[in-house]
Structure 1
Amino acid sequence: MTMQVPADAGRSQARQAAIILKVAQSMSAHGIAALPRNYELFYEALSGRLPQLARELSALGQNPEQDALDALGLKHHLIAHAALAADRARAAAQQALADAASRLKNARAQRHAFKDELDHFAARLATDPVASLSEFADDAARLRDAAGRLMNEEGVLQLALESSVHRFCDLEGDFAESRRPLTRDPATGLPNRLALTAKLDTVLETERLDQPLALFVASVEGLREIADRHGGAIAAKALAKLSALFRKSVKKNDFVARIGQQDFAFLCRDVSGENAEAIARRLRQSVEELRIPLPDRAHTAETLSLAAGITVAHAASTSAELLGQAELALAGARGGNGILSYSAALSRNLAKTYGHHAA
């Protein structure tokens, strides 16, 4: 039996293939090394997902240096550049440790030199208690000079250690920044699915669930179609509007993440299932009121809609369980009124439905 590919899926695949071909051609024309991070850089620029990156890449000219390309990838927190950022931070940390070790070695040498002078002075006093005043003065001068060198080296060591402490604090920030692409969606700046899972794990493992905790997963219907029909630049504008709307729609202690091409997740504290449904309805209305303007079409705009699946955490919940429940409710919401809360009955009904179709 021949499987029919939906028209939208076919257009999306063709567009992805065209972008990949354009990436390869552009890299070849500019003499760019075939490194994985360079492929990602050009793909993100040419796909239209990051218009600013595209402009900055174009400004580099015909044959950009690899360092300039890497600087752009690091600036825009691309995933393939996370290892590069970590390697640079690690190298800087190793150099800082080497510098501190060298200072400690010098300080230790000065201490040994000072001890040798003390031992020599003590030995002279023990073997020749009636040494002349001039001989005693010479020994005392050498001892004073050794003490001065030791104090100078101790001062340098203290400054070096203080500098190393500040450097390590900076490097800690660099390491955190290098991990950021792994937990951030580059197109919106929102946390991604990995970050959401980590957040859920932290909340469920370290906090008491005396107050209700609601998770809902929302799908923005129409976003993928905008990308397919009008390209990545228009889709990026739609994403920017959505991410700004979603950030404003949650409380300070709540959490919003982009977990798929058109899927977002909201973790809301002190919110019951009923309240979560009200939040989802308001959010759906706000999304439906958005207008995505199209270039050269002053009186035409694209619109979006939203479907959401909701679940509420309990004491024995796990992140995988909550995400699975919310996504199961979302699957049911798409075929109903657009918003649905998870229940055991819903799980059984959907299992029967999918099982029947699978058979």
Structure 2
Amino acid sequence: MNTAVAQKVQVPDIAAQVTYAMRVMGIAPIPRNYELFYEAYIGSNPKLTRELAALGSKASQEELDEIGTQYFGHHHGATAIDGVHSKIVGELEGLLRLLKQEQTSLESYNKLLDETYGRITGKNAASVDIIKNVIGVLTQATGDTISQGKEMVENVAQKSIEMDNVRKELDEYKRIANTDSLTQLSNRRAFDDKLSAIYNSSMAHNVTALILADIDHFKKINDTYGHPVGDKILASVGSLIRANVRKDILVARTGGEEFAMIVEGNTEEEAMAIAERIRIALEHTPFKNSKTGVNYGPITISLGFCMASWADGPGELYSKADIALYCAKNGGRNRTMAFEDGMKKDFAKSWLIYRK
């Protein structure tokens, strides 16, 4: 949300402008391209904006993906995950080969037992020498089968270790793909997945809240002190939010200076208390350069929230929480507001424009 906006007529239609720019440049309207142009539009990373502009109207998808890989780690997540998937397939194929070998070994042993039984019960099987010979064959076959069984157990155990390592590797790729590189919080992708799942349970959404937060006057901070300082403040604010909520609460940086929290298992009053705890903690946190003595503060944040039970789906929930956030901004900033039906609705962004 642009913190300087207060009137409806001044609110830019970000989705329309981003989509128009992509269409003019002939860029495919796919989610990862939209993310690049959205970040460039809101000006959160001037270097990214300059690199996109330098491509002109002839940008190829390969060039866009190179920029995406540089600024958004999750752009190469699919390739990495595909590689891990291939490893898993390879390990499973190896395990199946081991099991087939064991099956073949057991089938051969069973066949030998059948033949031996036939010899013993045959009419000419009275000879002691034949009995001794059969016992010797069975002893050797049994020993070989036991040995093969031990080897099988060891091989399967090794395969299990290798597959567990591949699983851990896959988990790490997923963590990277769902993490904002600047703040180390969850990113928009992880937030979207969690928000979409809220309404999967008719019970859970009765005690679930969506809290949206936006740093006050952040554009002024960037313009006054520069984007490197702005990035440090973003990271510090993200750390402060994370430190003031439970570990099970998803905290995400959803774009620019915006953050979101999905709070499960709490009432409206408790959600308000969580938001206020964050706001007050930030209000009392000094932001000062220890080397130069420059004071960047005070840094404050505005928050708006909506209970999931007040909306019919994730899109409406996001819209109502954003309306509450806007009203907190328009009402003087550095405050928390819960959604109310009488709030003005014309300026709310649609969550759907962010879906990946």
2:211 maps to what in 1? 216
2:294 maps to what in 1? 299
What is the letter of the counterpart of residue 48 of structure 2?
A: Q
In structure 2, the CA distance between the partners of 1:241 and 1:316, relative to structure 1 (3 Å rule), is closer
Q: CA deviation at 1:199?
A: 3.0
Q: Does the alignment pair 1:345 with 2:337?
A: no
Q: CA deviation at 1:96?
A: 1.5
Residues 234-253 of structure 1 mapped to structure 2, 5 A cutoff:
234-253=229-248
Name which structure has the greater RCO, CA cutoff 8 Å, separation 6+. Answer: 2
Q: CA deviation at 1:153?
A: 1.6
What is the letter of the counterpart of residue 338 of structure 2?
A: S
**What are the superposed Cα offsets for residues 110-161 of structure 1, whole Å, 9 maximum, x if unpaired?**
2232233323323433445246433432332222211211122222223333
Which consecutive unaligned segments of at least 5 residues does structure 2 have? 1-9, 13-39, 56-61, 350-356
Mapped partners of 1:86, 1:155: distance in 2: 34
What is the letter of the counterpart of residue 330 of structure 1?
A: L
2:186 maps to what in 1? 191
2:20 maps to what in 1? none
**Partner of 1:351: helix, strand, or coil?**
coil
What is the letter of the counterpart of residue 139 of structure 2?
A: R
- Residue pair 2:42, 2:256 contacting (<8 A) in 1 also: no
In structure 2, the CA distance between the partners of 1:353 and 1:11, relative to structure 1 (3 Å rule), is closer
Residues 117-156 of structure 1 mapped to structure 2, 5 A cutoff:
117-127=112-122, 129-130=124-125, 132-156=127-151
Q: Does the alignment pair 1:16 with 2:16?
A: no
- Residue pair 1:185, 1:191 contacting (<8 A) in 2 also: yes
Of 316, 326, 345, the residue aligned with 1:331 is: 326
In structure 2, the CA distance between the partners of 1:218 and 1:353, relative to structure 1 (3 Å rule), is closer
2:309 maps to what in 1? 314
Q: CA deviation at 1:317?
A: 3.9
What is the letter of the counterpart of residue 301 of structure 1?
A: Y
In structure 2, the CA distance between the partners of 1:110 and 1:16, relative to structure 1 (3 Å rule), is closer
| Cα root mean square deviation, aligned | 3.8
Q: CA deviation at 1:291?
A: 3.8
In structure 2, the CA distance between the partners of 1:114 and 1:277, relative to structure 1 (3 Å rule), is closer
Mapped partners of 2:105, 2:204: distance in 1: 59
**What are the superposed Cα offsets for residues 165-210 of structure 1, whole Å, 9 maximum, x if unpaired?**
4444443333333222343222222123333343344444336369
- Residue pair 2:324, 2:339 contacting (<8 A) in 1 also: yes
What is the letter of the counterpart of residue 105 of structure 1?
A: K
- Residue pair 1:221, 1:307 contacting (<8 A) in 2 also: yes
What is the letter of the counterpart of residue 16 of structure 1?
A: L
TM-score by length of 1: 0.69
- Residue pair 1:110, 1:149 contacting (<8 A) in 2 also: no
In structure 2, the CA distance between the partners of 1:211 and 1:13, relative to structure 1 (3 Å rule), is closer
Aligned pair count reads 304
Mapped partners of 2:171, 2:44: distance in 1: 35
In structure 2, the CA distance between the partners of 1:352 and 1:268, relative to structure 1 (3 Å rule), is closer
- Residue pair 2:186, 2:253 contacting (<8 A) in 1 also: yes
In structure 2, the CA distance between the partners of 1:102 and 1:206, relative to structure 1 (3 Å rule), is same
What is the letter of the counterpart of residue 267 of structure 1?
A: I
Q: Does the alignment pair 1:103 with 2:103?
A: no
Q: Does the alignment pair 1:89 with 2:84?
A: yes
Mapped partners of 1:184, 1:242: distance in 2: 16
Q: CA deviation at 1:325?
A: 0.3
What is the letter of the counterpart of residue 138 of structure 2?
A: L
Which consecutive unaligned segments of at least 5 residues does structure 1 have? 24-33, 45-77, 355-359
What is the letter of the counterpart of residue 82 of structure 1?
A: G
What is the letter of the counterpart of residue 96 of structure 1?
A: E
- Residue pair 1:11, 1:228 contacting (<8 A) in 2 also: no
What is the letter of the counterpart of residue 140 of structure 1?
A: I
**Structure 1 stretch 151-160 or stretch 222-231: which is displaced more?**
222-231
1:159 maps to what in 2? 154
Of 259, 262, 266, the residue aligned with 1:267 is: 262
- Residue pair 1:234, 1:294 contacting (<8 A) in 2 also: no
Mapped partners of 2:265, 2:120: distance in 1: 80
What is the letter of the counterpart of residue 341 of structure 1?
A: A
- Residue pair 1:308, 1:330 contacting (<8 A) in 2 also: yes
